[in-house]
């Protein structure tokens, strides 16, 4: 008997199982398969090559856990999630000048616990934000990180940070959180979670996308967008606080905004009257705001749109199933807002019907004038979150509101940090919670100051109030000045 066999003989059955598991994990961690990127991922990969230290594509989920937490069970649940969903154990590399994604058989979850006892509220937010702002290394991973900040008994901050290239912030996040609740509950109760193993993976969608784009459907989609975006498409020239840099650095910050329940209901009533959605109504108003800021009447706003999720097989698959579609509006002739809304409604419906043509390929074929200081074709984005169900309160609810979400055996409350996105000049994200609209206006800090963006958010609110008061008014006549600004203007 050699030394290793003798050592094995001295181990208990439990120790042998643990050792065998570790040996199998080490062996699996060296096994990988290689696949192409989706066209949607390619845009993020190119942005990463341009600014690898940027956190513009970091997605963060944060929440305050207000109940007893079994940290070991939570860690085990996250490890199971990494094994269930291949994108969470994927890295990216170059092969012969072409980017590929490497799917590893095993990756250990990046899970960290930090003692935060005695920290002030400001220090806690600062430390959580700093953990979120750590850049991801796409070539070596991991591309998912979990950090717990223990503040007191039954008071722990959960930070889940993921790179966008393997994860969309809507359905992927909801899938992950729902499965995590079930897996955690199973571990603390020593039972098994009734979760079916995913039948397909993200790389299956990549192959399906490429086959579709090479066929007749791809030709049909391209023909629609070629006509929709024909003619001169001037970049959106927003007034900035500083000259535009020669190259994008993808630095950003965000400013919160919220609207009253009364204004929210008025907007919903207007949308219903016009046979539109709240998303369409807010988008038309955002078009109007940008027109008033720039004087440009031909405006394109990007809208992140979910793709592939209408196929049952991919409904709950974790991955990057987002395509940003360009929604173009014509605001010439002082068009009445009601007429603009109808125009936007038709544009949105048609755009959604043709949403499967990737923006990366669209830019490649249209060949718009390229300026390394701005994103091509789309400089401003609008998103309306409607896929997060009851968890929306954790995203848009105020920390002091007392909102609480039951998540398996855990009780969660909102905990917000500033999202440092800056891949576009401006990004407006909105959602509804408790009968009120909330949102974040994300901006490129190389271009805008915080005060400028806060003032823009006020102008948007004033514009919405003017819209519901008289939707027949022309877009050039709608008031967007606050009372103080009107006083100052009259005084001058």
Query: Above 70 in pLDDT, residue 2?
Result: no
pLDDT of 239-293, one tens digit each? 999 999 988 888 888 888 999 999 999 999 999 999 999 999 999 999 999 999 9
Query: Above 60 in pLDDT, residue 16?
Result: no
pLDDT at 89: 97
Domain pair 17-203 / 231-392+418-491, same fold: yes
What average pLDDT does the segment 163-192 reach?
Answer: 93
Which run of H or E residues covers position 288?
helix 278-294
Average pLDDT, the chain: 90
Q: Tell the residue number behind the tokens 């027109």, with chain if given.
A: 291
Percent of the chain with pLDDT over 90: 74
pLDDT at 483: 81
Query: Above 50 in pLDDT, residue 28?
Result: yes
Q: Which two tokens stand for residue 91?
A: 């890295």
Query: Above 90 in pLDDT, residue 15?
Result: no
pLDDT of 69-96, one tens digit each? 999 999 999 999 999 999 999 999 999 9
Query: Above 60 in pLDDT, residue 397?
Result: no
What average pLDDT does the segment 138-160 reach?
Answer: 97
What does the alpha-carbon distance between residue 308 and residue 266 come to, in Å, rounded to a whole number?
33
Torsion angles phi and psi, residue 418, rounded to 5: -70, 130
More confident residue, 114 or 256: 114
What average pLDDT does the segment 289-316 reach?
Answer: 96
pLDDT at 19: 46
What does the alpha-carbon distance between residue 201 and residue 169 come to, in Å, rounded to a whole number?
17
Q: How many residues does the chain have?
A: 492
Strand, helix or coil for residue 111: strand
Query: Above 50 in pLDDT, residue 3?
Result: no
pLDDT of 280-291, one tens digit each? 999 999 999 999
Q: 112 Cβ partners below 8 Å, 6+ apart?
A: 145, 146, 147, 148
At the second CATH level, the architecture of 231-392+418-491 is 2-Layer Sandwich (3.30)
Query: Above 80 in pLDDT, residue 418?
Result: no
* Least confident segment among 50-54, 171-175, 394-398, 462-466: 394-398
CB 50 within 8 A of CB 248: yes
What average pLDDT does the segment 341-356 reach?
Answer: 98
Query: Above 70 in pLDDT, residue 23?
Result: no
More confident residue, 167 or 56: 167
What average pLDDT does the segment 453-460 reach?
Answer: 96
Q: Which two tokens stand for residue 217?
A: 């459907």
- Identify the CA nearest to 290 among candidates 338, 244, 327: 327
Domain ranges of the chain: 17-203, 231-392+418-491
Pick the CATH number of 17-203 from 3.30.565.10, 3.40.50.1970, 3.40.190.10, 3.30.559.10: 3.30.559.10
Query: Above 70 in pLDDT, residue 306?
Result: yes
Going by their DSSP bridges, the two strands 298-306 and 322-330 should be labelled as antiparallel
CB 428 within 8 A of CB 382: yes
Query: Above 60 in pLDDT, residue 409?
Result: yes
pLDDT at 77: 96
């Amino acid at each position: 008997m050699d030394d290793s066999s003798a050592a094995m003989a001295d181990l208990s059955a439990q120790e042998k199982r643990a050792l065998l598991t570790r040996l199998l994990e080490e062996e699996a961690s060296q096994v990988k398969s290689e696949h192409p990127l989706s066209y949607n991922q390619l845009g993020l990969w190119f942005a990463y090559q341009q600014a690898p230290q940027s956190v513009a594509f970091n997605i963060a989920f944060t929440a305050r856990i207000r109940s007893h937490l079994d940290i070991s069970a939570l860690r085990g649940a996250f490890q199971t999630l990494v094994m269930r969903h291949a994108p969470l154990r994927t890295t990216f590399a170059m092969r012969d000048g072409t980017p590929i994604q490497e799917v590893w058989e095993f990756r250990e979850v990046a899970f960290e616990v930090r003692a935060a006892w005695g920290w002030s509220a400001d220090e806690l937010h600062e430390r959580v934000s700093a953990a979120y702002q750590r850049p991801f290394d796409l070539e070596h991973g991991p591309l998912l990180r979990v950090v717990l900040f223990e503040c007191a008994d039954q008071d722990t901050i959960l930070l889940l940070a993921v790179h966008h290239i393997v994860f969309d912030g809507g359905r992927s996040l909801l899938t992950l959180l729902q499965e995590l609740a079930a897996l955690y509950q199973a571990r603390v109760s020593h039972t098994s979670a009734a979760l079916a193993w995913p039948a397909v993976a993200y790389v299956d969608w990549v192959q399906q996308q490429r086959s579709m784009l090479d066929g007749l459907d791809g030709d049909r989609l391209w023909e629609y967008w070629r006509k929709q975006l024909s003619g001169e498409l001037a970049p959106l020239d927003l007034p900035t606080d500083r000259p535009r840099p020669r190259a994008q650095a993808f630095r950003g910050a965000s400013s919160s905004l919220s609207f009253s329940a009364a204004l929210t209901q008025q907007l919903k009533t207007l949308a219903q009257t016009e046979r539109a959605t709240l998303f369409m109504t807010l988008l038309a108003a955002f078009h109007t705001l940008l027109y008033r800021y720039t004087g440009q009447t031909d405006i394109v706003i990007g809208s992140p749109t979910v793709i592939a999720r209408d196929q049952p097989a991919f409904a709950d698959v974790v991955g990057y199933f987002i395509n940003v579609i360009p929604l173009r509006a014509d605001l010439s002739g002082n068009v009445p807002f009601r007429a603009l809304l109808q125009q936007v409604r038709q544009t949105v419906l048609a755009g959604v019907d043709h949403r499967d043509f990737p923006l990366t390929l669209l830019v490649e074929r249209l060949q718009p004038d390229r300026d390394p200081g701005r994103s091509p074709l789309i400089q401003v984005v609008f998103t309306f979150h409607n896929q997060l169900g009851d968890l929306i309160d954790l995203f848009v609810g105020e920390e002091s509101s007392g909102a609480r979400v039951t998540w398996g055996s855990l009780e969660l409350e909102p905990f917000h940090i500033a999202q440092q996105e800056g891949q576009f000049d401006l990004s407006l994200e909105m959602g509804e919670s408790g009968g009120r609209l909330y949102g974040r206006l994300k901006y490129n800090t190389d271009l805008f100051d915080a005060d400028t963006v806060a003032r823009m958010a006020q102008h948007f609110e004033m514009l919405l109030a003017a819209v519901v008061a008289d939707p027949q008014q022309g877009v050039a006549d709608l008031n967007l000045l606050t009372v103080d600004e009107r006083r100052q203007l009259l005084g001058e």
